[in-house]
């Protein structure tokens, strides 16, 4: 790993203190380091004058690794860009939970291991998400964590029909539905009552949110299944679809959201030998 992008969340890394320290460690380990913002910041935000930022899309053309600083949301955002280009990602937690991060901000010294190739790469399954309206595909994205379909901000029930390979698996009314990867099992799906699933498992989780039916339960399906979600016939209003916490798309009656395993996989760099259950225990005891 010679060409490394350091991508800090400016709203979490105050004055880029963590990123500055990491850059020094990486340079001493013999790596070429470029500093990029993971997303566009508000124009009112004053970036430090002593730091040189370069464009992320340009640097990704030659990058061997992206080191991302922030919470889970920042890591999920960067995972899409990195995955589409086949670039491994290493997350450093400066947020609250930081479940997907490999390092805490107090463990930056371990970044020096990248210069000695003392690391492993773990592949995480992703979901491919499309929305069809009439005969047109109006939306396409990939997801590392989950696809969420909700009722929006209004206090009402949304009725959804879920099919696996064209066969109805669930129909329920409630606040909505989560379709998650094993990686996303510890996120919103877990809060909604879904199970914790090892990242290596070959599953798709379908978890109702505050369902209004006694029989509505989480379904653990094979990742070979094609999951489709539609507004049920008795639905009177719109629903909203969001991928990995991103901007919501309004769904109309007749729209079909199709979710299947993606051909792409996110590559996460691992510097520590630890069990998934060690991570679960450490994070949920906070």
Catalogue the active-site residues.
72
CA 150 to mean position of chain CA atoms: 18
Q: Is 190 helix (H, G, I), strand (E, B) or coil?
A: helix
Q: Cβ contacts of residue 215 below 8 Å, gap of 6+?
A: none
Cα 109 from Cα 102, distance rounded (Å): 13
Burial track 133-161 (b if 16+ CB lie within 10 A, e otherwise): eeeeeebebbbbbbbbbbbeeeeebbbbb
d(CA 180, CA 207): 8
3-state secondary structure of 85: coil
């Amino acid at each position: 790993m010679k060409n490394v992008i350091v991508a800090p969340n400016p709203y979490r890394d105050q004055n880029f203190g963590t990123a500055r320290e990491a850059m020094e460690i990486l340079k001493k380990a013999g790596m070429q380091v470029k500093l990029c913002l993971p997303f566009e910041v508000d124009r009112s935000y004053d970036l430090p004058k002593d730091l040189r930022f370069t464009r992320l899309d340009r640097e990704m053309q030659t990058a061997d690794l992206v080191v991302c600083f922030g919470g889970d949301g920042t890591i999920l955002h960067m995972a899409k860009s990195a995955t589409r280009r086949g670039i491994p990602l290493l997350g450093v937690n400066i947020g609250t939970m930081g479940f997907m991060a490999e390092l805490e901000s107090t463990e930056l010294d371990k970044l020096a291991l990248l210069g000695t190739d003392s690391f492993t790469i773990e592949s995480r399954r992703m979901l491919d998400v499309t929305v069809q309206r009439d005969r047109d595909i109006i939306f396409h994205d990939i997801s590392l964590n989950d696809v969420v379909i909700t009722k929006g901000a209004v206090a009402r029930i949304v009725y959804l029909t879920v099919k696996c390979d064209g066969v109805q698996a669930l129909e329920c009314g409630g606040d909505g539905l989560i379709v998650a990867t094993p990686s996303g099992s510890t996120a919103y799906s877990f809060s909604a009552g879904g199970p914790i699933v090892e990242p290596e498992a070959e599953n798709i989780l379908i978890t109702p949110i505050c369902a209004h039916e006694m029989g509505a339960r989480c379904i653990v399906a094979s990742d070979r299944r094609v999951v489709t979600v539609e507004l049920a016939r008795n639905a009177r209003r719109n629903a909203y679809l969001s991928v990995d916490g991103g901007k919501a798309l309004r769904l109309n009656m007749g729209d079909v959201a199709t979710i299947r395993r993606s051909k792409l996989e996110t590559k996460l760099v691992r510097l520590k030998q630890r069990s998934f259950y060690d991570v679960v225990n450490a994070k949920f005891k906070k």
